[in-house]
Amino acid sequence: MSTPKSANWQKDVAHVVHPYSNLDAHDTRGPLVITRGDGCYVEDESGNRYLEGMSGLWCASLGFSEKRLVQAATKQLNTLPYYHLFNHRSHPPGIELAEALTAIAPEGLNHVLFANSGSEANDAAIKLVWYYNNLLGRPKKKKIISRLYGYHGVTVASGSLTGLVHVHRDFDLPIPQVKHTDCPSHYHFAQPGESEEQFAERLANNLEKMILEEGADTVAAFIAEPISGSGGVIVPPKGYFERVQAILKKYDVLFIVDEVICGFGRTGQMFGSDSFGLKPDMMTVAKGLSGAYQPISGLLLTDAIHDALKAGSRKHGAFAHGLTYAAHPVAAAVALETIKIYQERKIVEHVQSVAPYFFERLNQLSGHPLVGEVRGMGLLAAVEITSDKASKTPFPPEAGIGAWIQNKAMEHGVIVRAISTCIALCPPLISERQHIDQLVDGLAKALDEAQAHFG
């Protein structure tokens, strides 16, 4: 916690509305004001240093002091600080980024529509799915199936895709075109004795049932993260996506893959789609795209969808969608440099080399009385917290054990995040063994203290 009632503290409490924060409690607890970043570490205004075990919000993949990104931004600011892509205008960073992105993307994703955030990219995906089906003469085919505990953002449409009740309640979400199917968490939702494959089969059958009940002629798309992040780092069971993709194909339902967290090496392949054999019709990227040094996102499209957009222009003229700052040249230049760094420093190979150690260390926590499961892939993980390992019973939310562990971990110099019933970890992709040791040691101490307090 930062120094009580510093000038920053007072001004913050007076004026800042904090996302995903208890706005009532904020007046008394105030903000933690982070002032500096250095490699995998950040520092608060009192000089406390933390290993950022969440890469901020799953995004600062190259850490907090990558000079090449600063130089890329400065160079672009000095050359052309702003231009746009409306009305057939273009600029070199936007063009080069589109080329670089489509070159590394899963096969067939040859076109990119830029935006500024993951939410906007997912929002655009919904609009384009609707536009596409209207242009194909299928005006009824509009519903989007998302998953419980999936996270896709907070705008009216992307917040509707998000399968978390707190993102919906009193915000009048979800919109009626969005339906939610099962969450693929074997730990939480498998029936006793059900294997991963059987669980995957049951969920795929439920998806098919939903498509048939809604009417296949009304279901346009299915959206999923390869590994759900904010819903609790949920790794799909074996065979899940294989079965799901077969069903989507059978009913001519587009597959939108949300790579906002999993993209750019997080899972140990360039994209989560590569880790799970996914063949997206549309794919959204953000966060790691620029290593979080600039806000930028993208929606990648196949030729078939792009062709429909062209048909739209033959019908209507201009494609009437676009954001003032989409492909902002400074953000695009930084993203382009980020991709170059990922490639030059072989970030995917680096993740593959440290991930086994990450899980070796995390799996040592499996025997802890509070730990129900350790799960994840690459440099993305969760430690499930339980009050009873055998029955997998979580602590009641009002006990606040997740936030308690998170706060204790900070006292030990590491930032982790309590979400749902787990503690999430998503360290920068540049992490080395010593960072992983510090992260897991800090969490282990917090777990021991939680055991003494809650056990």
Task: Give the nearer residue to ligand PLP in terms of CB position, either 105 or 260.
Answer: 260
The residue whose Cβ lies closest to ligand PLP is 118
Q: Distance (Å, rounded) from C-alpha 142 to C-alpha 129?
A: 7
Indicate whether 151 belongs to the interface with ligand PLP (CB under 6 A).
yes
Which runs of E-coded beta strand occur in 193-233? 219-224
- The burial of 68, by beta-carbon neighbours within 10 Å (0-12 exposed, 13-18 middle, 19 or more buried), is given as middle
**Smallest distance, ligand PLP to C-beta of residue 162, A:** 8
Q: Are strands 417-419 and 414-415 parallel, antiparallel or unpaired?
A: unpaired
Task: Give the nearer residue to ligand PLP in terms of CB position, either 151 or 255.
Answer: 151
Question: Do 76 and 93 form a contact (C-beta atoms < 8 A)?
Answer: yes
Q: Are strands 282-285 and 254-258 parallel, antiparallel or unpaired?
A: parallel
Task: Give the nearer residue to ligand PLP in terms of CB position, either 261 or 332.
Answer: 261
Q: Distance (Å, rounded) from C-alpha 216 to C-alpha 190?
A: 27
Indicate whether 153 belongs to the interface with ligand PLP (CB under 6 A).
yes
Q: Distance (Å, rounded) from C-alpha 375 to C-alpha 369?
A: 16
**Smallest distance, ligand PLP to C-beta of residue 360, A:** 26
Indicate whether 226 belongs to the interface with ligand PLP (CB under 6 A).
no
How many residues are present in the chain?
Answer: 455
Sign of CA dihedral 183, 185, 188, 194: positive
Q: Read off the tokens for 166.
A: 């707190």
**Smallest distance, ligand PLP to C-beta of residue 240, A:** 17
Instruction: From 124-132, 151-159, 214-222, 402-410, give the range in contact with ligand PLP by CB under 6 A.
Output: 151-159
Identify residues 249-268 at the interface with ligand PLP (CB under 6 A). Answer: 258, 260-261
DSSP for 368-419, please give it.
STTEEEEEEETTEEEEEE-SBTTTTBPPPGGG-HHHHHHHHHHHTTEE-EEE
Residue 12 to residues 23, 49, 225, 279: CA-CA distances in angstroms?
12, 21, 34, 45
**Smallest distance, ligand PLP to C-beta of residue 331, A:** 12
Q: Distance (Å, rounded) from C-alpha 122 to C-alpha 113?
A: 11
**Smallest distance, ligand PLP to C-beta of residue 219, A:** 21
Task: Give the nearer residue to ligand PLP in terms of CB position, either 31 or 226.
Answer: 226
Residue 323 has a CB neighbour count (10 Å cut-off) of: 18
Instruction: From 149-157, 264-272, 362-370, 402-410, give the range in contact with ligand PLP by CB under 6 A.
Output: 149-157
Indicate whether 119 belongs to the interface with ligand PLP (CB under 6 A).
yes
Q: Report the candidate in 211, 285, 204 with the shortest Cα–Cα distance to residue 254.
A: 211
Indicate whether 160 belongs to the interface with ligand PLP (CB under 6 A).
no
Q: Report the candidate in 97, 39, 109, 61 with the shortest Cα–Cα distance to residue 331.
A: 97
- Which residue type does 385 have? I
Indicate whether 146 belongs to the interface with ligand PLP (CB under 6 A).
no
Instruction: From 91-99, 116-124, 376-384, 392-400, give the range in contact with ligand PLP by CB under 6 A.
Output: 116-124
Please count the residues of this chain forming the interface with ligand PLP, following the rule CB under 6 A.
16
Instruction: From 104-112, 113-121, 237-245, 270-278, give the range in contact with ligand PLP by CB under 6 A.
Output: 113-121
Task: Give the nearer residue to ligand PLP in terms of CB position, either 256 or 446.
Answer: 256
Q: Given candidates 229, 312, 329, 376, which one binds ligand PLP under the rule CB under 6 A?
A: 229
Instruction: From 33-41, 150-158, 187-195, 331-339, give the range in contact with ligand PLP by CB under 6 A.
Output: 150-158
Indicate whether 378 belongs to the interface with ligand PLP (CB under 6 A).
no
Q: Given candidates 52, 66, 208, 225, which one binds ligand PLP under the rule CB under 6 A?
A: 225
Q: Distance (Å, rounded) from C-alpha 218 to C-alpha 425?
A: 38
Q: Distance (Å, rounded) from C-alpha 419 to C-alpha 385?
A: 10
Q: Given candidates 91, 111, 143, 152, which one binds ligand PLP under the rule CB under 6 A?
A: 152
Q: Give me the residues that bind ligand PLP (CB under 6 A), please.
A: 57-58, 117-119, 122, 151-153, 225, 229-230, 258, 260-261, 286
